[in-house]
Amino acid sequence: MHLLIPAAGSGRRMGSDRNKLLLPLFGKPLLAWTLLAAQHSRQIEWIGIIGQPMDWQDFKTIAVELGLVDRIQFIQGGSTRQESVYCGLKGLPAHADRVLIHDGARCLATPELFDRCAEALETTPGLIAAVPVKDTIKVVGEAALIQSTPDRSQLWAAQTPQGFDVKQLLACHEQGIRQGWEVTDDAALFEQCGLPVKIVLGEETNLKVTTPVDLAIAEFILRQRLAVASSSDHQD
């Protein structure tokens, strides 16, 4: 399976002047945790990191430290996530027929989640990891007035990985460029083209690190995970 990692954003909402994926998280750059999960997936054979040239050197250092250089390709991204993924799709090897796309900022996804999405992608052309929402969601209009309250039992929070047939997703991106669609995930392009997108159960801990609070929560979750792993090692 081919995996594209959009990693060409900035640290604006994190209040940082550098790419947030290079910020330290429990002793490693954030992106290293995302790559570690992909590295331990049984299904991922090739990884394309979509980034900006100013970050190449740091990304390469991370890849070298993880022993991943042979499996990684660096691809230049664009000014939005949508543009970056389009660049990534064009940078895939010609024989890639299915692709998983996973935001670099979702550094807590597990190898099992990658495996589950890759396996499901064998029988469907489009899927996303998602979890049922826990909050009641409000649609809010002008003057902070609520317009409606959608039925929560039908609402899911979209995550990544998202997986697609490469030719179909490329065609959707190209249609989106022609029509001026602006979307925040790839499933939205598939949906707007009338193509089916299936849900694969995601993980509650698969948060997208966006603000300093997310970074603190991610650190807490990693600390817990590593403590559990080392206590079970001692018991073996």
Q: Which residues bind ligand C5P (CB under 6 A)?
A: 6-9, 21, 50, 77-81, 84, 103-105, 208, 210
What SS3 class is residue 5? strand
To ligand C5P, the closest distance from the beta carbon of 210 in angstroms equals 5
What SS3 class is residue 165? strand
To ligand C5P, the closest distance from the beta carbon of 9 in angstroms equals 3
Dihedral angle computed from the Cα positions of residues 138, 140, 145 and 147, in that order, rounded to the nearest 10 degrees: -70
Nearer to ligand C5P, 6 or 125 (CB): 6
Say which DSSP state 208 is in: -
* C-beta of residue 172 within 8 angstroms of C-beta of residue 191: no
Residue 43: Cβ within 10 Å count:
17
| Beta strand segments in the chain, E | 2-6, 24-25, 28-29, 46-51, 72-76, 98-101, 126-132, 139-140, 146-148, 156-165, 198-201
Of 83, 190, 181, whose CA–CA distance to 128 is shortest? 190
Nearer to ligand C5P, 104 or 126 (CB): 104
Nearer to ligand C5P, 8 or 187 (CB): 8
To ligand C5P, the closest distance from the beta carbon of 161 in angstroms equals 12
To ligand C5P, the closest distance from the beta carbon of 108 in angstroms equals 13
Which residue is closest to ligand C5P by CB? 9
Cross-strand pairs, 129: 200
To ligand C5P, the closest distance from the beta carbon of 83 in angstroms equals 6
Nearer to ligand C5P, 14 or 222 (CB): 14
Nearer to ligand C5P, 119 or 217 (CB): 217
